[in-house]
């Protein structure tokens, strides 16, 4: 449970009213949301049932026809606007125009659906949205130049998801008739189980129903009963089921979340957030099961919650992953405290072979392993620019050695490269090794030798002057 919810539940009605009045007074945005929320109160309006599947079929056919009527073979360049004021290749313009044409059509769908929702016609809106979902899967748009790329991907993850996001915002501002929410839910379940949508993805509908239940909690008990009467619906709409359970049977919420969490990252995250503040032992039990499944999504909450000494092996597993993911030196310092000497050495070897040489050097610096950095500088096969961060920690520890490495690398590089970037990197590296007073005389000689050897490279001398190593 989030902290604000705990505080909210501890307040009496007078405290809540006082706080609401204060924040409304100081926020024009919240004032607007407040007005919209209660202006869109549909709770007392009569609800009209519909033949949900029939509307779905009709909308799917209409949207499919509309999408397939779009002609992307002949690009309408007149509608294109160079918003970023840069040069565009012809294929880029064609691609933008095609996307804009599709977006315009979906905007018209979105406007219609949001208008229906604002009027309280939740069932009609959700039926039409379901029809559009089907059309996105089934439409075959004439796109001979492949301006849309993967059509289905573009329509579903781009356009359709954008409409769903807009509807979700309106749901959060709307109080709906409880009968409408329950009836629409039943229609949706039937449509996805045995109706026209029975082979299609329920993810977007699940998120929208969840939002409906959050904003209309009085519907949860009845919908919880519907889930228990139609057990197969739980697998289709797991987020909605958990929301209905939270209000309809809160005592069983944690147990149900444990059952569903391995298949749904949102439920897994909510479960661990709840248990982090309420049940430490169960948090560890479930975190150890869920982390291998959703490592990237759960690493933050788990790493923030665990006591590193409570389960050291699990802490090392989580922190090792986090270090590799985020490359944060504080995470490494925390992890290193748990390592044995052998384990640390093995981990440093892994870091050395990873793609991030810069982080590896940061780790060695934090460990005070300057000799190891020097060895890496001598043997590493890296770009000239990378020697800047490699040798920066050791230039004052091993000045003569760094100078020798820098001179060798700069001479080799300038012998093979003649670009501005090459000259700039060479100048920066020479400047770095000259920062130790012991190297100044040798650096001046090196600069003189280079200017003599490459006397015609005016760009090189210019970069040397910019770095202040040549007057």
Q: pLDDT tens digit string along 83-118?
A: 555 555 555 555 666 677 788 888 888 999 988 888
Is 234 a member of any domain? yes
Residue 333's domain spans which residues? 313-367
Between 144 and 407, the higher pLDDT residue: 407
Is the per-residue pLDDT at 148 higher than 70?
A: no
Within this chain, do residues 151 and 120 fall inside the same structural domain, yes or no? yes
Within this chain, do residues 189 and 333 fall inside the same structural domain, yes or no? no
Taking each continuous run of H as one helix and of E as one strand, the counts in the chain are 27, 0
Phi, psi of 79 (to 5 degrees): -90, -5
Within this chain, do residues 239 and 155 fall inside the same structural domain, yes or no? yes
Q: Cα separation of 390 and 168, whole Å?
A: 49
Is the per-residue pLDDT at 221 higher than 70?
A: yes
**Count of alpha carbons within 13 angstroms of residue 122, beta-carbon side:** 33
Within this chain, do residues 430 and 294 fall inside the same structural domain, yes or no? no
CB 210 within 8 A of CB 243: yes
Spell out a b/e string for 184-215, using b for 16 or more CB atoms within 10 Å of the CB, else e.
Answer: bbbbbbbbbeebbbeebebbbbbbbbbbbbeb
Residue range 457-462: mean pLDDT, rounded: 94
Is 72 a member of any domain? yes
Non-local CB neighbours of 302 within 8 Å, separated by 6+ positions: 272, 287, 291, 318
Between 40 and 251, the higher pLDDT residue: 251
Q: Cα separation of 232 and 251, whole Å?
A: 22
Check residue 1 and give its pLDDT.
47
Within this chain, do residues 153 and 131 fall inside the same structural domain, yes or no? yes
**Count of alpha carbons within 13 angstroms of residue 169, beta-carbon side:** 11
Is 44 a member of any domain? no
Q: Cα separation of 230 and 223, whole Å?
A: 10
Within this chain, do residues 169 and 84 fall inside the same structural domain, yes or no? yes
Within this chain, do residues 268 and 403 fall inside the same structural domain, yes or no? no
Within this chain, do residues 226 and 324 fall inside the same structural domain, yes or no? no
Is 471 a member of any domain? no
Q: How confident is the model at residue 2 (pLDDT cuts 50, 70, 90)?
A: low
Closest CA to 317 of 341, 345, 338, 340: 338
- % of the chain at pLDDT higher than 70: 87
Is 373 a member of any domain? no
At which of 367, 389, 406 does a domain end? Answer: 367
Q: How confident is the model at residue 241 (pLDDT cuts 50, 70, 90)?
A: very high
DSSP 469: S
Total domains, the chain:
5
- Give the chain's mean pLDDT: 87
Within this chain, do residues 273 and 420 fall inside the same structural domain, yes or no? no
Give the range among 310-314, 353-357, 363-367 with minimum mean pLDDT. 353-357
Is 237 a member of any domain? yes
Is the per-residue pLDDT at 328 higher than 90?
A: yes
23-67 pLDDT, tens digit per residue, is 768 777 666 656 655 665 555 556 677 899 999 999 999 999 988
Within this chain, do residues 389 and 422 fall inside the same structural domain, yes or no? yes
Check residue 144 and give its pLDDT.
63
Check residue 38 and give its pLDDT.
62
Check residue 72 and give its pLDDT.
66
Check residue 117 and give its pLDDT.
86
Is 46 a member of any domain? no
Within this chain, do residues 62 and 139 fall inside the same structural domain, yes or no? yes
Q: Is 463 helix (H, G, I), strand (E, B) or coil?
A: helix
pTM beyond 0.95: no
Within this chain, do residues 458 and 335 fall inside the same structural domain, yes or no? no
Closest CA to 428 of 471, 389, 378: 389
Is 47 a member of any domain? no
Q: What is the DSSP string of 312-361?
A: HHHHHHHHHHHHHHH--HHHHHHHHTT--HHHHHHHHHHHHHSS-HHHHH
């Amino acid at each position: 449970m989030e902290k604000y919810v705990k505080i909210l539940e501890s307040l009496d009605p007078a405290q809540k009213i006082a706080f609401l009045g204060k924040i409304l007074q100081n926020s024009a945005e919240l004032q607007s949301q407040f007005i919209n929320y209660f202006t869109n109160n549909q709770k007392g309006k009569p609800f009209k049932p519909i033949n949900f599947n029939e509307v779905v079929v009709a909308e799917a056919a209409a949207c499919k026809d509309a999408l397939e009527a779009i002609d992307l073979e002949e690009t309408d360049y007149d509608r294109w606007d160079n918003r970023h004021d840069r040069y565009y290749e012809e294929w880029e313009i064609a691609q933008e125009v095609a996307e804009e044409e599709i977006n315009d059509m979906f905007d018209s769908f979105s406007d219609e659906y949001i208008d229906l929702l604002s009027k309280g016609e939740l069932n009609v809106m959700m039926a039409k949205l379901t029809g559009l979902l089907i059309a996105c899967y089934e439409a075959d748009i004439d796109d001979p130049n492949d301006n849309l790329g993967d059509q289905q991907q573009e329509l579903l993850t781009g356009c359709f998801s954008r409409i769903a996001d807009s509807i979700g915002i309106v749901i959060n501002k709307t109080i709906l008739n409880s009968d409408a929410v329950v009836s629409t839910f039943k229609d949706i379940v039937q449509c996805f189980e045995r109706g026209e949508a029975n082979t299609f993805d329920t993810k977007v509908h699940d998120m929208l129903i969840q939002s409906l239940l959050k904003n209309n909690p009085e519907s949860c008990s009845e919908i919880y009963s519907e889930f228990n009467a139609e057990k197969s619906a739980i697998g289709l709409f797991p987020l909605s089921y958990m929301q209905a359970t939270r209000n309809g049977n809160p005592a069983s919420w944690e147990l149900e979340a444990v059952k569903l969490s391995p298949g749904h990252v949102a439920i897994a995250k909510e479960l661990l957030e709840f248990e982090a503040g309420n049940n430490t032992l169960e948090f560890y039990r479930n975190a150890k099961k869920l982390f291998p499944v959703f490592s990237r999504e759960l690493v933050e909450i788990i790493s923030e919650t665990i006591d590193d000494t409570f389960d050291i092996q699990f802490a090392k597993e989580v922190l090792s992953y986090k270090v590799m993911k985020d490359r944060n030196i504080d995470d490494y310092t925390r992890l290193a405290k748990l390592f044995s000497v052998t384990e640390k050495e093995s981990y440093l070897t892994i870091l050395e072979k990873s793609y991030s040489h810069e982080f590896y050097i940061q780790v060695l610096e934090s460990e005070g392993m300057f000799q190891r950095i020097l060895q890496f500088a001598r043997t590493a096969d890296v770009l000239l620019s990378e020697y800047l961060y490699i040798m920066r920690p050791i230039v004052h520890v091993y000045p003569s050695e760094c100078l020798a490495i820098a001179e060798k690398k700069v001479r080799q590089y300038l012998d093979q490269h003649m670009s501005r970037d090459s000259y700039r990197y060479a100048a920066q590296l020479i400047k770095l090794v000259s920062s130790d007073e012991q190297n100044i005389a040798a650096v001046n000689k090196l600069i003189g030798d280079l200017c003599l050897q490459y006397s015609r490279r005016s760009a090189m001398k210019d970069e040397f002057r910019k770095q202040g190593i040549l007057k």
